[in-house]
Amino acid sequence: MKDKIKIGIIGGSGFTGLEIVKILSMHKYVEIKFVTSRTYKDILVSDAFPSYMDYGSSNLTFIEKPAKNNFKEIDLVFLCLPPLKSMEFLKEINYDYDFKVIDVGSDFRIKDPDNYRYWYGTEHVLKDMLQDFTYGLPELNKNKIKNSQYVANPGCYPTSVLLGLAPVLKKSGLKITNINIDSKSGVTGAGRKLKSMYLFSNMDNNFYAYSANDHRHIGEIEQEIENLSGKHFNICFTPHLLPINRGIFSSIYCKMENKMNEKGYIEEICDHFKEFYKDSPFIKFTGTEIPQLKDTVGTNMCLIGLCVDSRTNTLKIFSAIDNLVKGAAGQAVQNMNIMMGFDEKEGLISSGIFS
């Protein structure tokens, strides 16, 4: 039996932090040493959030701030903080530690400081560390993650988009001329913000686009498209809000130079997707069946399906994830598993809960 590794969670009362706590409670080789929350300090996690079930065994309690000593004993820390706060945290503790770090926030995803400034509107305060962080999309980057001390967990939209796009970008002979992405997210994607737009009375029976012009995830997606394909694309990306709690469904439209109506074409692409993800336990390629969002709720899976519109020479790729699991907490635990040498699936094998 392996020893349990020791974990700290900074920012444990947001949707993502709490989801990590929930997932780790089913992980065989992990012990949570501390989880922080200013709002709920000194309160049992299971009292603050009754949906966290500790089955009498944990008594896990939020603390406001870990002491120096707390950091000494841990093997890995998850940072679940708003923009700008992860780098502040790391700057403050100033390399005085040797634990591994998974930043579930957005501070270390974009590698180029100018690009960071463009999308986040502010100067990065730890530019030197940007290159230390591996972009933690395990299906595309597993070997690098395995040997990293620092991992930047991808954003929820980029996860859903890049997993759908990667096989196309990596297939020789395919020429994409234009990429248009229409994504739809459940409201937990916005976190626990107390804004009137997120009231039940405003969101139920509702649907709309937002940040239609300038969502920060565009920079992250374009960076990784370039890493995958060696080519820069300006993508057209439009996020929308769904009247559900969990899930992102991305409709990815790739206009192709290749004629897409030749016989056998679709089979070839499907075979390529299957091959591409044959060692990825969290990808389920559904071929020309379109995936349904509900199937992913509560799981770390990404479902991907596609079809070809020969009239407009467009390859349509549809991907579905649970934004809080594969789009955040589950992927973070998947990264931890890889960094720590555990089975990639440990703690992450729940099926979906809807039908």
Interaction residues for a second copy, span 244-263 (CB under 8 A): 244-247, 249, 251, 253, 255
Q: State the CB neighbour count (10 A cutoff) for residue 287.
A: 16
- Non-local (6+) Cβ contacts of 201 within 8 A are none
Catalytic residue flag (residue 254): no
Binding positions for a second copy, 112-141, rule CB under 8 A: none
User: What is the CB-side half-sphere exposure of residue 82 using CA atoms within 13 A?
Assistant: 7
Our CB check for a second copy shows the closer of 187 and 225 to be 187
β-bridge mates for residue 302, sequence order: 283, 321
Return the residue of 31, 126, 243, 272 that touches a second copy, per CB under 8 A.
Answer: 243
Say whether residue 29 binds a second copy (CB under 8 A).
no
Binding positions for a second copy, 31-90, rule CB under 8 A: 46, 49-53, 55-56
Return the residue of 293, 328, 332, 336 that touches a second copy, per CB under 8 A.
Answer: 293
**Total number of residues that touch a second copy (CB under 8 A):** 85
- Non-local (6+) Cβ contacts of 27 within 8 A are 333, 346, 347
Which region, judged by CB under 8 A, interacts with a second copy, from 76-84, 147-155, 284-292, 330-338? 284-292
Which region, judged by CB under 8 A, interacts with a second copy, from 3-11, 157-165, 256-264, 316-324? 316-324
Say whether residue 238 binds a second copy (CB under 8 A).
yes
Q: How far is CA 197 from CA 127, 238, 240, in A?
A: 35, 18, 13
- Non-local (6+) Cβ contacts of 189 within 8 A are 156, 241, 248, 323, 327
Say whether residue 196 binds a second copy (CB under 8 A).
yes
Return the residue of 31, 126, 346, 352 that touches a second copy, per CB under 8 A.
Answer: 352
Q: Which strands sit side by side in the sheet containing 302-309, from one edge to the other?
A: 208-209, 236-241, 176-185, 248-256, 314-321, 302-309, 283-285
Catalytic pick among 80, 156, 254, 302: 156
